[in-house]
Amino acid sequence: MQITARELVFDVQAGGPQDGPPALLLHGFPQHAGEWELVASRLHDAGVRTYAPDQRGYSPGARPADVSAYAMSECVADAVALLDALGVDRAHVVGHDWGAVVAWHLAAEHPDRVRTLTAISVPHPAAYGRALATDPDQQRRSAYIGLFQQEGKAEDLLLEQDGQRLREIFTGIPAERVERFVTPMLDRARLTGGLNWYRALGRRPIAAGPVPVPTTFLWSDQDLAVGAVAAQGCAQHVTGDYRFVTVAGASHWIPDEAPDEVAREILARMATA
């Protein structure tokens, strides 16, 4: 389905019973709404209604050219506008990677719209920012961001050899799932749309306030992008009920590698609201 919000047109995957509790599922880079397929099917079986948009830059009808249009405030405003367009007052919000960043900001800035939060892989922006400033390990893990912020060069490198470097990003998940994500990103305009999130970031994560809603954070101990210092610092920035879950042995791509555990934790968090 397509939803018009803020004069943009978003492609949205919707599923589950119409009268089920609504969940907004937010993807990251370099994926799309399809990253939730394995998790969403399990949520549907439990009676949850899910909405998974291709976010700004990924939906062809929601792809502004100006890098400033990808500021986090704009991405959060998209999420609010999508909930408005869907007629959803409050949703269970789930985010992975950049989708988690949007989800953290949404829960901090619009807690009246968020029943529960399940954030995956990327911790609260303040915890990540502190680790980036003080932890050499996190600084090494985040070095790739500098490349992604280089307009043109990043696209050239990631698209070389039919997207070989894009494929190499997806450690730990089956090849058919990798192609599910890489093939759409071979469209240079779509790839630029995804990279513009990094370019709008600047040098530091955008500050976010404390999160008052019931929250679960899932982190994998084999994540190459986010280290333990950032992950463990997350608790300091949640004032609502909080649960930290380590998914042992998984990589950054937890929804693809451990959909049963992800769905189980989302449902457990939903049950507390």
- Domain residues of the chain, as ranges? 2-270
| Percent of the residues in the chain that have a pLDDT greater than 70, as a whole number | 99
Contacts 24+ apart (CB under 8 A), 63-72: 63/189, 63/190, 63/193, 64/8, 67/151, 67/196, 67/199, 67/200, 68/200, 69/196, 69/200, 70/193, 70/196, 70/197, 70/199, 70/200, 71/200, 71/206, 72/101, 72/102, 72/105, 72/200, 72/201, 72/206
Q: What is the pLDDT of residue 171?
A: 87
For the segment(s) 2-270, the CATH number from 3.90.440.10, 3.40.50.1820, 3.60.20.10, 3.90.700.10 is 3.40.50.1820
Q: What is the pLDDT of residue 203?
A: 57
Q: Is the pLDDT of residue 206 over 80?
A: no
Reported confidence tier of residue 231, pLDDT bands at 50, 70, 90: very high
Q: What is the pLDDT of residue 204?
A: 59
Rounded average pLDDT over 50-78: 97
pTM above 0.95, yes or no: yes
Q: Is the pLDDT of residue 44 over 60?
A: yes
